[in-house]
Chain A
Amino acid sequence: MTNREDQSRRVKELIVRRLKLDVDPLSIENAAPLFGEGLGLDSIDALELVLGLEQEFGIKVEDEEVGVKAFASVDALVDFIEQKQNA
């Protein structure tokens, strides 16, 4: 498993665990939108993901604008995490 695949798996597990979703983490598509269509998450879920990223990845989401882009999909979230970890 590549590092990116591992990050994707961790992100999916984080989403399912923090939001208490009744889905198999592996069933979440990497490119599928997390909000609206796709998983149908809302702004309260977004706050939970912000807290999850901080607690489990040590990454802060500075503002809403950044968060909205980062939470577009699992792929976008992995990109965001990698960017933060490499900064």
Chain B
Amino acid sequence: MSARLPHGYPFRFVDVVLRERDAAFTSGTVSARVTSNGRAAMGEGWASPLLLVEALAQSALLLEGGDADIGRRGFLAGIEGFEAERAPRAGETLRIEVRLAGRFGAIVRFEGEVYGDRARLARGAIIVRRGEGSPTTPG
């Protein structure tokens, strides 16, 4: 995972790719385990639902299949229509569904949802400015 994602502890909010994207990036799925000793945790869970946006962005980057350098040179450029029900709690395993909504040059839009153990925690879209590099194209 480190080869594909520049983020490390304590600012990595994804753990395992559950389902790789398909060729058209219709969707892909990532999981994240919420621990009580993570930097983002404040005792019982993530300090802010906004970290769900970061989890979505990291999932998108991971599923894009690029290399860590692309992520290092890129950045989150926008958030659209993001709605969060609550912050995740320690002990919860999150399932993050991401799909590619569109791209124009280096600007890419992803949409997705984050699910907790029982229900959807958040949904919305993010816009990412890809860094330069030589991405691989899985699938």
* Min CB gap A80→B, angstroms: 14
CA distance A54 to B127 in the complex (A): 18
What band does the interface of chain B fall in when counting residues whose beta carbon is under 8 Å from A? 10 to 19
Q: A43-B107, A46-B107 are in contact. Are A51 and B77 (CB under 8 A)?
A: no
Select one of B78, B102, B105, B109 contacting A64, CB under 8 A.
Answer: B105
Please tell me if the beta carbons of A46 and B102 are within 8 angstroms of each other in the complex. no
Write out the residue numbers on chain A whose beta carbons fall within 8 Å of the beta carbon of B102: 47, 50-51, 54
How far is the CB of B129 from the nearest CB of chain A, in Å?
8
* A51 B107 Cβ-Cβ under 8 A: no
**B103 at interface by CB-CB < 8 Å:** yes
Contacts of A64 in B (CB 8 A): 104-105
* Chain A contacts for B51, CB-based, 8 A: none
Cα(A31)–Cα(B38), bound, Å:
54
Residues of B in contact with A (beta carbons under 8 Å apart): 77-78, 101-109, 127, 129
A-B contact pairs, 20 of them (CB 8 A): A43-B104, A43-B105, A43-B129, A44-B77, A44-B78, A44-B107, A44-B127, A46-B107, A47-B104, A47-B107, A47-B108, A47-B109, A50-B104, A51-B101, A54-B102, A61-B104, A64-B104, A64-B105, A67-B104, A67-B105
